[in-house]
């Protein structure tokens, strides 16, 4: 491999705060946050929205999120105005 052209490959903690799931693995992802791991060392931290600890396929539990308010807000904001409303 050529020197100086590859990103740094290092240990990184990926954390899903919704279910307290964390995993220490290796990655080249860049992050500014850090976390102290169980071995006492400090590692870069990447927060995830979904992981195997919270995904319905792996957990067998469906987690419903109330999106009706967001959908209605989107439709209201981006719907085309009728000719009479102009």
**For the whole prediction, is pTM greater than 0.85?**
no
pLDDT in tens, 13-72: 999 887 888 889 999 999 999 999 999 999 999 998 777 666 655 566 666 555 567 777
What 3 state SS string does the chain have?
A: CCCCCCCCCEEEEEEECCCCEEEEEEECCCCCCEEECCCCCEEEEEECCCCCCCCHHHHCCCCCCCCHHHHHHHHHHHCCCCHHHC
What pLDDT score does 80 carry? Answer: 72
Instruction: Parse the chain into domains and list their residue ranges.
Output: 10-80
Q: 7-16, 56-65, 76-85: which range is least confident on average? A: 56-65
């Amino acid at each position: 491999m050529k020197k100086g052209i590859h990103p740094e490959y290092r240990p990184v903690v990926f954390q899903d705060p919704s279910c307290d799931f964390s995993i220490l693995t290796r990655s080249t992802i860049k992050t500014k946050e850090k976390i102290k791991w169980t071995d006492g060392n400090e590692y870069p931290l990447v927060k995830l929205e979904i992981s195997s600890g919270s995904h319905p396929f792996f957990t067998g539990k469906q987690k419903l999120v109330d999106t009706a308010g967001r959908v209605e807000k989107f439709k209201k904001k981006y719907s085309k105005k009728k000719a009479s409303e102009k």
